[in-house]
Amino acid sequence: MRPVRAKITIDRPIDEVYDYLLDIATRPEFAPEIFHDFRLTRVESHGQGAGARFRLHPKYRERYAGTTIVKAVPGEMVVEEGSTGRSGRVPLVIEYLLEEQPGGAVRVQAGIESSPLLLSDRVREFGLRRFVKRRLPRAVRRMRDILEGAPGTPQGERPTVAGVDRNHVPNP
């Protein structure tokens, strides 16, 4: 899938936006139409090494994708790398680039790209780019509404670990 990008300006401090994006568990909260069946790969969902498995399209039940935060530069970018497709052979990159704007706002550019090498994988991804291209702008607008605290913004569900809210796990 050729790169799909969406840009938006968020009226919040850059550190707050960066911290929000550094937590991989926020993905289904602002983009529930893109990240289906979202599952964390470990309990700690914040920072480099945090990962998740999900489906990019609800129609493809067997086509899971997995990403891990591999690069995080404070105030600049958060990059996730992983794979999708049959047997996980299609590389997948999701990136969030941050740029501080005058007046304290932040310009966020979100991008999703996969690189199928085989013709059979390219055929299987037919239509996926259009699906993501239609939903990514909605997702970044929803992220803006969540971060700016717009009233009436419906938030998606945060993922759980073993069916329990990860923020309320009792300590033994």
> Domain holding 83: CATH number?
3.30.530.20
pLDDT digits (tens, 9 = 90+) for 63-102: 789 999 999 999 999 999 999 887 888 999 999 999 999 9
Residue 137 inside a domain? The answer is: yes
Does this model's pTM top 0.75?
yes
Is residue 78 in some structural domain?
yes
* Domain total in the chain: 1
The answer to whether residue 69 sits within a structural domain is yes
Whether residue 111 lies inside any domain: the answer is yes
Q: Identify the CA nearest to 140 among candidates 16, 32, 21, 6.
A: 6
Give the amino acid at 134: R
Q: Is residue 171 part of a domain?
A: no
**Position 160, amino acid:** T
Mean pLDDT confidence for 135-144? 94
Residue 103, domain extent: 4-150
How buried is 108 (Cβ within 10 angstroms: 0-12 exposed, 13-18 middle, 19+ buried)?
buried
